[in-house]
Amino acid sequence: MDQLYATRTSRMKASEIRELLKLLGQPGIISFAGGIPDPALFPAEAFANAFQNALGPDQQAQALQYSVSEGYAPLREWLVGYMRGVGVECDIDNILITSGSQQALDYLGKLFLSPGDTALVGWPTYLGALNAFDAYEPRFDQLSVNGNRGAAEYRHAAGGSPIKFAYLSADFANPTGETVDLRGREALLDLADELDCAVIEDGAYQALRYDGDPIPPILALEQARKGSIENCRAIYCGSFSKTLSPGLRVGWVVAAKPVISQLVLLKQAADLHSSTINQMAVYQVARDCFDTHVPMLRRTYAARRDAMLEALSQHMPDGVDWARPEGGMFVWVTLPRDMNGADLLAQALETAKLAFVPGQAFYPDDTGANTIRLSFSNSDEDMIREGIRRLGVVLRA
């Protein structure tokens, strides 16, 4: 059958992260691999009540029925208020609910990319975004947010291929944990104007800031320049996966109305709409609990991040570097140049029952072999200290 598959499938490959998640169940393993929330922190009781309400006599007919592609209106209204809180003025018609923000990335790839078009992405960048865009057969070029590449250089590198968008996580990126500062965000808007391309901002971790002052989303900065969201080229993708629950698959996109209209058509063709009952439950839990639940997550994850950073200082040999994230779930570690993260993982699993993600998969050009990603979100402080101690032993060996 292989010869029947479309050419785009030749670029599809199994995700190392997904393969690794299979290891999480083994006894004794300490896993810093998956970038997933701690299930002990899910607002499970609030969801139990929300689902009970949705299935009660008043709401069940709606909850179990087909619904509109744009998404559950009360949830979109709640999101209008949430986005206002982070500096974006929009109305309900600027918002589309998606089945996780991963679906938004797929739709945006489908909307913008013809085969051979150029997508600018961080080097490294979120593997799920690379996989989503890859299906539309683009060329990837390295987005440099520090402004040391000008528009002419990007155009030259593209060699006539249209540059369609720049994709980035501006806050606590996956995998590096890095945040783009205000100057970097403004410079990116200048660049996008010069290149006449879209900016896709992935805000998956934005609510999980542990210290430092929040920086407005790129869409908010562009709105401040251009007056209305309708004049903006920035597109914001949000998610409830890291704050409330990833299993319910509820995310959202905020953009100018013509972009949302196109995305609605794509959604109608793909899955008609996201799960009605899940959207209703997420709405109720967001409305009732978001403002207390997320500060609790911040306190808990901040303590885990600090435990990991302290343990790294204590146990890492010379030549190993890492960055301090201001939020999110990841610490990005750079090993000495001649070391290989995948080999280190094989050794760590075998000799230390320790898992993490080798960094190379996050690079579109397969460089970065001497990097690894450590997630601190799903282990308590004692496990983190023990896991980093084991990593130190494996590295010294």
Ligand X SMILES: Cc1ncc(COP(=O)(O)O)c(C=O)c1O
Residues that bind ligand X in the complex, under the rule CB under 6 A: 35, 100-102, 126, 128, 169, 174, 202, 204, 239, 241, 246, 251
Closest CB to ligand X among residues 117, 202: 202
Helices 276-315 and 73-85, axial angle in degrees (round to 10):
40
Helix (H, G, I), strand (E, B) or coil at 240: coil
**Between the CA of residue 217 and those of 91, 177, 186, 211, what are the distances in Å?**
17, 16, 10, 17
Residue number closest to ligand X, CB atom = 100
Write down the least CB distance from residue 100 to ligand X, Å. 3
Write down the least CB distance from residue 101 to ligand X, Å. 4
Write down the least CB distance from residue 169 to ligand X, Å. 5
Beta-ladder partners of 92: none
Nearest CA-CA partner of 29 in 397, 392, 386, 393: 386
Write down the least CB distance from residue 127 to ligand X, Å. 8
Closest CB to ligand X among residues 138, 177: 177
Write down the least CB distance from residue 46 to ligand X, Å. 19
Find tokens 């292989």 and name the residue.
Answer: 2
Write down the least CB distance from residue 325 to ligand X, Å. 13
Closest CB to ligand X among residues 31, 315: 31
Closest CB to ligand X among residues 138, 246: 246
Closest CB to ligand X among residues 117, 178: 178
Residue 228: DSSP 8-state = S
Helix (H, G, I), strand (E, B) or coil at 322: strand
Closest CB to ligand X among residues 154, 252: 252
User: What is the secondary structure of 149-214 as a DSSP string?
Assistant: S-HHHHHHHHTT--EEEEEE--SS-TTT-----HHHHHHHHHHHHHHT-EEEEE-TTTT-B-SS--
Write down the least CB distance from residue 177 to ligand X, Å. 11
Closest CB to ligand X among residues 154, 167: 167
Tokens of 268: 């109608």
The Cα 286–Cα 270 span in angstroms is 26
CB 220 within 8 A of CB 85: no
